[in-house]
Amino acid sequence: MKILVCISHVPDTTSKINFTEDNTKFDANGVQFVINPYDEFGLTRAMWFKEKQGASVDVVNVGGPETEPTLRKALAIGADAAIRINTVATDAFSVAKQLAHVVSNGGYDLVIAGRESIDYNGGMVPGMLAALTNANFVNSCIGLEIDGTSAKAVREIDGGKETVSTSLPLVVGGQKGLVEESDLRIPNMRGIMMARKKPLTVSEPVEASPETQSVSFEKPAPKGAVTLVSPDNLDELVSLLHNEAKVI
């Protein structure tokens, strides 16, 4: 089985976010980037298929040279090879089209992507990728088993979960539950050294015009000042909750 894991290069959630050019551009200066957490669950599941079923695992990213350390981390975790599509990830459709070109030419049986990336939270790429490659698709996947060309997946739905059967080729939009957080892998020294020798191929992009664009960004409103109320003054507390906070 040949597996491709899509890797997004996203800011660490602890990073301080700023914007430039009148709030129209994201400022990457001083920001620590990591593997998108949803993609990391998928990569870990792919490693399980590699170890238990002898699958080969490639990882792919759409981005410039600055994303290569993230791909190298994926290689250090255990992926066999990496592909960087040499173009800026502008919108979901153009990213899906770039990935579809790699999938179609790579003969992959299973493509695992995160349900969404934690930067833009679009949640569109996996579904678009499945449509462009004419593959079956399971989103919000929290469980996956492969037997030959058959697949059994569990996906999260409103109020519960659903088990479905399908066949390869398959695109999965994964999330927490595909593996547990305790199963996630930290690269060890041996993995880091081996990653330096694994192939990282730079592929030129196919033509794909973006269908959407970000017009401007806005930070959340700052938190208001804290008002301290004496525990002996319940009337003041009730008044504040009713007249200012308007929660009662």
Q: Token digits for 46? A: 């792919």
DSSP 8-state secondary structure symbol assigned to residue 31: -
Q: How far is C-alpha 6 from the geometric centre of its chain's CA atoms? A: 8
How far is it, in rounded angstroms, from Cα 48 to Cα 55?
9
Amino acid at 64: G
Give me the residue spans of the domains in the chain.
Answer: 2-219
Asked if 108 contacts 240 with a C-beta cutoff of 8 angstroms, the reply is no
Q: Does position 5 have pLDDT exceeding 90, yes or no?
A: yes
Among the listed residues 26, 25, 23, the one whose alpha carbon sits nearest the alpha carbon of residue 11: 26
Asked if 160 contacts 177 with a C-beta cutoff of 8 angstroms, the reply is no
For domain 2-219, the question of CATH label 3.40.50.620 is answered with: yes
169-192 pLDDT per residue, tens: 999 999 999 999 999 999 999 999
Apex 59 CA angle, 25 and 56, nearest 5: 175
125-176 pLDDT per residue, tens: 999 999 999 999 999 999 999 999 999 999 999 999 999 999 999 999 999 9
* The pLDDT of residue 226: 84
